[in-house]
């Protein structure tokens, strides 16, 4: 059972997938994530890349984010995100997009949409992490003071190739690592 852990929708159960291939962020990792993001979430523009069922982005809306864009390339996941957003009455603040993550980065760049917080949780161990992080950094869709959070397996390595001026802090939760990436001058 997945649920919203805090904010206006606290305790609300999310509709979860009845199909394979989705690995929602665990409640323990989600709590740890939002403990770090708490000072930055209110009124934030938030991107949930590889959104799955939208667990993290919906939590962000419940905790005060102004707008959350959900991106996933699975139509079944997009349908669940829409159903959960409607059930939570968050539809007006949710941009739900069926698109590949790398394509969406270019899409947001063209549309000049930038973000206070970007959260990405790509499928583990499929070599997405460093490519997508590099695309986010070079696209400038992360605001100057923004935070990029990468959820990955401890068996994966994050490299910040050609990303001078960026630093990251790594926090470990069992098999899961959260990397908090931001400009070094912040």
Bridge pairing between strands 94-98 and 67-72: parallel
**Domains of the chain as residue ranges with CATH:** 27-183 (3.40.50.150)
Angle at 171 between CA 168 and CA 176, to 5 degrees: 115
| Residues 46-98 pLDDT 10s | 999 999 999 999 999 999 999 999 999 999 999 999 999 999 999 999 999 99
Below-70 pLDDT ranges, the chain:
19-21, 23, 125-126, 161-164, 185-186
pLDDT of 62 reads: 98
pLDDT of 161 reads: 58
From residue 65, alpha-carbon distances to 34, 48, 100, 180 in Å are 12, 12, 23, 18
Cα radius of gyration rounded to whole Å, the chain: 15
What the block records as the tokens of 133 is: 């992080």
Above pLDDT 70, what percent of the chain?
92
Q: Within 13 Å, how many C-alpha atoms sit on residue 86's CB side?
A: 7
- Report yes or no: 58 and 79 within 8 Å, Cβ to Cβ: no
Q: Cα separation of 16 and 141, whole Å? A: 30
- Report yes or no: 146 and 182 within 8 Å, Cβ to Cβ: yes
């Amino acid at each position: 059972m997945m649920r919203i852990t805090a904010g206006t929708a606290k305790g609300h159960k999310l509709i979860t997938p009845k199909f394979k291939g989705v690995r929602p962020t665990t409640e323990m990792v989600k709590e740890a994530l939002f403990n770090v993001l708490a000072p930055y979430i209110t009124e934030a523009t938030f991107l949930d890349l590889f959104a799955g069922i939208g667990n993290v982005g919906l939590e962000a809306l419940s905790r005060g984010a102004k707008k959350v864009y959900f991106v996933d390339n699975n139509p079944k996941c997009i349908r669940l995100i829409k159903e959960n957003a409607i059930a939570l009455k968050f539809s007006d603040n949710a941009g739900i997009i069926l698109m590949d993550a790398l394509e969406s980065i270019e899409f947001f760049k063209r549309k000049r949409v930038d973000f206070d917080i970007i959260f990405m949780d790509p499928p583990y161990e499929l070599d997405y992490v460093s490519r997508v992080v590099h695309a986010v950094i070079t696209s400038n869709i992360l605001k100057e003071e923004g935070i990029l959070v990468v959820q990955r397996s401890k068996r994966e390595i994050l490299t910040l190739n050609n990303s001078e001026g960026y630093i990251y802090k790594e926090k470990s939760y069992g098999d899961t690592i959260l990397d908090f990436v931001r400009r070094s001058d912040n």
